[in-house]
Structure 1
Amino acid sequence: MLLPGLKPTAMSDKNTLPLAGQVALITGSESGIGRETARAFCRLGAAVVLNGRQAERLEATRQALAAEGYRVAACLADVTDYTACEGLVATALAHFGRLDILIANASISQRAYFADMQPAVFRQVLDSNVYGAVYPLKAALPHLLAAQGSVTFISSISALNGMPSGSAYCAGKAALANLAHTLRLELAGTGVHFGVVHIGFTQNDPDKRVLDAAGRPVPIAHRSPRWQKSQAEVAAIILSHVRRRRRRTVISALGRFILVVHSLLPRLGDWVVLTSQRRMRNFYE
């Protein structure tokens, strides 16, 4: 018997799809890593609720995945608005009747030094990374508890040691790791998984923008292509993290190096960052 909406293939029997019957809500999935993560979950049989703030792009992603034979729904919602997040969860229930997996991926990044940032811009970046994860989770929690489901916060390797020109972004991403740890303790015994994925440098959509000190959208700072993973590679790691119900996944050798140095030799870590800032200013500015 085929799952509704799946194309008939040799792997489409419901007994051979590991995530068949599971419903995943992925915020910020109209584009980029979120879109590819949605595709990865769909391939393993999950139904996916897509989310974003750009109606045309969100609908284009929904149509593309539906055309591939996958079970998808979409909800236009700003995840820093709690009422909108209630509607996002309601979309999952209305279309698929349950919710098993939440991936809090939506966020805004920056390209600005703290001394130059307008307070409202700092708050906008911080809110997107903190409340943009807290509000969807708060709305979804009763259903995730019922399903003994999984929650994954998408963080960054820059949260492990800080990064010049990324103060609000780093602060928000670091907060997610502590939030996950606290929830693990508070909800121990419920069967719900709480994890964090620290993403490294990843290939971006060509029109990817971050905020400058005044809140204007600008291109992301330079990243050498040889340091970047593809969006599909990152999505595959997120998928594995959720399936294995890991507490923390740090993507890339650089991320793991940062984690070790920050833990054991923090002054060396700071020296490396400050040296790179002097010699590679376009990496930060």
Structure 2
Amino acid sequence: MLDAQPGIAAEQAPQRVAAVPLTPGQGVFAGKVAIVTGSESGIGRETARALCQQGAAVVLNGRCPERLAHTLRELESAGFAVTSYVADVTDYAACEALVETAVLTFGRLDILVTNASISQRAYFADMQPEVFKQVLDSNVYGTVYPLKAALPALIRTKGSVTFISSISALNGMPSGSAYCAGKAAVSNLAHTLRLELADTGVHFGVVHIGFTQNDPDKRVLDAAGQPVPIAHRPPRWQKSQAEVAAIILGHIRRRRQRTVISALGLLIVLVHTYLPRLGDWIVLTTTRRLRHFYE
């Protein structure tokens, strides 16, 4: 995910170089080329690593040049086929350059994972409008723009698109209005695209992430747009980033329409579908009794 900091326009231009031949490797994604947005850290980094381990060539992406360079060196030192591109995915021109980097470097594009986004820790009534917009833009346009730029290349390869959503999209969560709205939007977008582009052979799927262990410096936005630590999550409820990445890879490999991670996520689906009033009662009760869970 993106760090909670103001958006920056990407200034890095893709080098005009000949495509690097993909040498046959081992793994279910051998010979495939992937872009993982927001892969300088966190779940995105571990998803990129897992794709590399399964034979894919991967284009890393992030907004922090130093952090992105560190991740690139780490994966290169392991012998993986990787390159990187600094880009704010809410900038469409930057997304075009990101996709161009993949095609110029590796000759094709097979997999797009739209992971980059900003989260929040703020109640709607307290949020500044520009902060709500920033969170929503990162989740919606941060998904739409990379896909729009990548779609022609993905159609050529009958590739795979995976939107990283959240269990928050399945049922609203207090202190997460913009984030929940954005994640729900991309879930519905995937459904629409499956219908519109059914004849292209492109896979569109959504992974709803549950509570996951975060990097120590992970930050979200408060009501005024300032970076703050993420709200408390009981460790026993959290999956590791590597576990989540493995589930994402299984989703891509099986070309699934939807994957919900964690027992809590599946419970939310069940309750929201069949007992929505009970679901709301549970959320309201926990909001009163476990405020640190949201604030």
TM-score of Structure 1 vs Structure 2, range by shorter chain: over 0.9
Shift of the alpha carbon at 1:20? 1.1
Alignment pair present for 1:76 and 2:65: no
Alignment pair present for 1:207 and 2:212: no
Alignment pair present for 1:107 and 2:117: yes
Q: SS of the counterpart of 1:73?
A: strand
Distance in 2, Cα, partners of 1:139 & 1:4 = 23
Query: 1:92-171 maps to which residues of 2 (within 5 A)?
Result: 92-171=102-181
Shift of the alpha carbon at 1:189? 1.6
Amino acid at match of 2:114: A
Give the TM-score normalised by structure 1: 0.95
CA contact (8 A) 2:33 2:109 kept: yes
Alignment pair present for 1:47 and 2:57: yes
Aligned equivalent of 1:229: 239
CA contact (8 A) 2:21 2:107 kept: no
CA contact (8 A) 1:5 1:69 kept: no
Shift of the alpha carbon at 1:18? 1.6
Aligned equivalent of 1:57: 67
What are the superposed Cα offsets for residues 218-274 of structure 1, whole Å, 9 maximum, x if unpaired? 000000100000000000000000000000000000000000100000000001111
Distance in 1, Cα, partners of 2:73 & 2:104 = 19
Distance in 1, Cα, partners of 2:211 & 2:173 = 13
Aligned equivalent of 1:177: 187
Aligned equivalent of 1:37: 47
CA contact (8 A) 1:5 1:70 kept: no
Distance in 2, Cα, partners of 1:105 & 1:152 = 8
Amino acid at match of 1:75: Y
Q: SS of the counterpart of 1:139?
A: helix
* Sequence identity percentage: 76
Distance in 2, Cα, partners of 1:19 & 1:5 = 12
Unaligned runs of 5+ in 1: 7-12
CA contact (8 A) 2:50 2:245 kept: yes
CA contact (8 A) 2:22 2:31 kept: no
Aligned equivalent of 1:271: 281
Q: Which consecutive aligned stretches of 4+ in structure 1 deviate over 3 angstroms post-superposition? A: 3-6
CA contact (8 A) 1:160 1:174 kept: yes
Q: SS of the counterpart of 1:197?
A: strand
Unaligned runs of 5+ in 2: 1-19
Alignment pair present for 1:66 and 2:85: no
Amino acid at match of 2:269: L
Amino acid at match of 2:233: R
Amino acid at match of 1:96: F
Shift of the alpha carbon at 1:17? 2.2
Aligned equivalent of 2:208: 198
Comparing 165-174 with 269-278, greater Cα deviation is found at 269-278
Give aligned pairs, total.
276
CA contact (8 A) 1:37 1:239 kept: yes
Comparing 90-99 with 30-39, greater Cα deviation is found at 90-99
Shift of the alpha carbon at 1:4? 7.5
